[in-house]
Amino acid sequence: MKKTILPFIALFISFGLSAQTSHTVNSGNFYYTPGVLTINVGDNVTWVNDGGFHNVNFDVNTMTGASYGNPESFVSPPTSDAVLYNHVFTIAGTYNYDCSVGQHAANGMVGTVIVESTASIPESAQEILDNSFSAYFKSNTDELVISFTSIQNSTNATLFIYTLDGKEMFNENIMISNGENTLNIQNTLEQGTYFATMTIGNASTSKAIRVQ
């Protein structure tokens, strides 16, 4: 069979997407617990009311009248409900807040939420994988040759081959070394177009291939 490689086609396949984490802050007379909460961008925080009439005020410091200068400002309506408020934090930074009801802030009802950026793929690792990844059929054989460059030794690398409708045809965990790597895969694919996808840790890239 004649096998040819299609030009690179951008393919967006999500691997290891970060899941939203939910956090709870207990609120009462006169506290938020924990007083300092560290979360990631995209996480949800729910303030649970242990008793009393409270809110969460991320806008103006109730005791000084000065703006908190938070990455974003919001104030929840005071309530005695079991849940004071919930909020999904989408901007990284440090958020200070208090309860703006009566003298609650002066009595110690203040808190801080630290929102950290989620871990990102090292740009150099992703760029190197994107620029070096290739897939081709060796002449006069049925071997599919995959080559790429890694900047690390890893046992957390996987080669996938998918059909256009997303059906997985091949999945193999691979030990790779720092530098150039070449894999020779015996071709068992029927005629058609497929995507070969290489993942190394959180970095991932794809190339379209066609078997004729």
Write down the mean pLDDT value for the chain. Answer: 84
pLDDT digits (tens, 9 = 90+) for 116-142: 987 655 557 888 888 898 887 776 667
Q: Which residues are within 8 A (CB) of 2 and not within 5 positions of it... i.e. 6 or more apart?
A: 212
Where is pLDDT greater, at 49 or 16?
A: 49
pLDDT of 139: 61
Q: What is the DSSP letter of 81?
A: S
Tell whether 12 and 66 lie within a shared domain: no
Phi, psi at residue 127, to the nearest 5°? -65, -40
Polymer length in residues for the chain: 212
> Has residue 12 got a pLDDT over 80?
no
Q: How many domains does the chain have?
A: 2
Kindly state whether residues 112 and 125 are assigned to the same domain: no
Same-domain check for residues 46 and 99: yes
d(CA 2, CA 208) in angstroms, rounded, equals 16
Q: The CATH number of the domain where 175 resides is what?
A: 2.60.40.3080
Whether 63 and 9 share a structural domain: no
Same domain, yes or no: 31 and 93: yes
**pLDDT higher than 90, residue 80:** yes
101 and 125 assigned to the same domain: no
Statement to judge: residues 109 and 150 lie in one domain:
no
Domain housing 37 = 22-116
Same domain? 7 vs 42? no
Residue 183, CA distances (Å) to 4, 150, 172 in order: 17, 13, 11
Residue 176 and residue 138 share a domain:
yes
Q: Which residues does 123 contact at the CB level (< 8 Å), separation at least 6?
A: none
- Among the candidates 116, 135, 156, a domain finishes at 116
Report whether pLDDT(49) > 70.
Answer: yes
CATH number of the domain at 97, please: 2.60.40.420
Query: Alpha-carbon distance 161 to 170, whole Å?
Result: 5
Q: Taking 70 as the threshold, does the pLDDT of residue 31 lie above it?
A: yes
In the predicted model, is pLDDT for residue 89 greater than 50?
yes
Which of the two residues, 121 and 15, has the higher pLDDT score? 121
User: Structure pTM?
Assistant: 0.51
**198: helix, strand or coil:** strand
Q: What is the C-alpha separation between 167 and 164, in angstroms, rounded?
A: 7
| 29 and 111 together in one domain | yes
Residue carrying the six token digits 């956090």: 23
11 and 33 in a single domain? The answer is no
Q: Among 97, 116, 135, where does a domain finish?
A: 116
Section 132-159 average pLDDT: 80
